[in-house]
A and B are shown apart, each in its own frame.
Chain A
Amino acid sequence: MKIIFESCSENEAFARTVIAAYITRLNPTLEELSDVKTAVSEAVTNCIIHGYENKEGEILMECNIHNNDISIVIEDYGTGINDIEKAMEPLYTTRPEWERSGMGFAFMEAFMDKLEVESVPGKGTKVFLEKTIGISEGQ
């Protein structure tokens, strides 16, 4: 599944609704569903606020299902991140004036099994998210 949408804040709800509908076939628990929705919402919000700095742009979202594994790619072609390690520190934010909590990447890390970030300053940022659905049920 691959969609491209505009970087406006209304599309945050759209993106996470699409993902929720797409992974429904794996029969996720409510908790798993809300985890994935939160992670996607964080990634898309990052594209809009930091990638495009609230200006116009395109966001690409790709999702694949392989057995019980879902892998999501969310990509923007905006400003990029200079220091990825610093950006991923909990509570670190470049936008305290907009009341960003600095927890976007921390939430993505907490709610998904795997998080990878690739970024080229001036070119854009690509976020890879992975999660296996239905594992916690057996525990």
Chain B
Amino acid sequence: MQAAGCVNLVYNQGIHDTIPDKGSTLPELHYMLFWQGIFVVPVNIFIQLFVPPPGGGMEVTMVKENVAGFHYELYKNCLVIYVTQDLDHHAVLSLRERSDRLIEAGDVKHVIFDFKDVGFMDSSGIGLLMGRYKKVMFLGGRAAVTSVGSAVDRIFKISGLYKIIEKYDTPGDAIKALEVKYEDYI
């Protein structure tokens, strides 16, 4: 019994040494922040510099927003919008405003919607895609959809959306295809 108590005591002391709680003083916190600065910050910089972005090794010029429901990335002049929630009228309300702001503000030529994390879509999503297609079309750009699941694919087929918007497997494929077509264009 005594031995067990002893181990407990040592264990508690160990916890106290590493986690800043009520017992830790300001100098201890500074000490921890110092070590975090040495180890954590360089690791983050390393990841940013050497781990390739998801667009198949394409250069990311800007990572703009990362909000619940969607995030955006800009590869050269291609805006990639990763939708991460069900695309109904409610989701479309905020996504439309945000994507338009990005298209108008940045040097965006083409727009790519990624549906990897979308399990459900209705006609509101079709309206959103057609609206963004019209917007980039007037600027000489094109629109594409990627990582389309079977449920969303049916909606696209029934609505005839594939007649105006191209489908690719990954955002990387779409960027390559759109860039090539764009080069041909000029």
Contacts and interface: CB of A to CB of B under 8 A. Distances in A.
Interface string B148-168: 001100110011000000000
B90 interface: yes
Interface stretch (A7-15, A74-82, A121-129, A130-138): A7-15
Contacts of A48: 89
A20 B82 CA distance: 26
Nearest to B85: A13
Nearest to A20: B120
B120 A37 contact: yes
Contacts of B150: 30-31
Main secondary structure of the interface of A (DSSP, over half): helix
A45 B89 contact: yes
A117 interface: no
Q: Which of B90, B122, B151, B155 counts the most chain A CB atoms within 10 A? A: B122
A110 B131 contact: no
Contact of A101 (B86, B96, B123): B123
B86 A13 contact: yes
Contact of A100 (B127, B154, B155): B127
A51 interface: no
A42 B122 contact: yes
A41 interface: yes
A34 B126 contact: no
B179 interface: no
B124 interface: yes
A9 B86 CA distance: 13
Interface of A: 9-10, 12-13, 16, 30-31, 34, 37-38, 41-42, 45, 48-49, 98-104, 106-107, 110
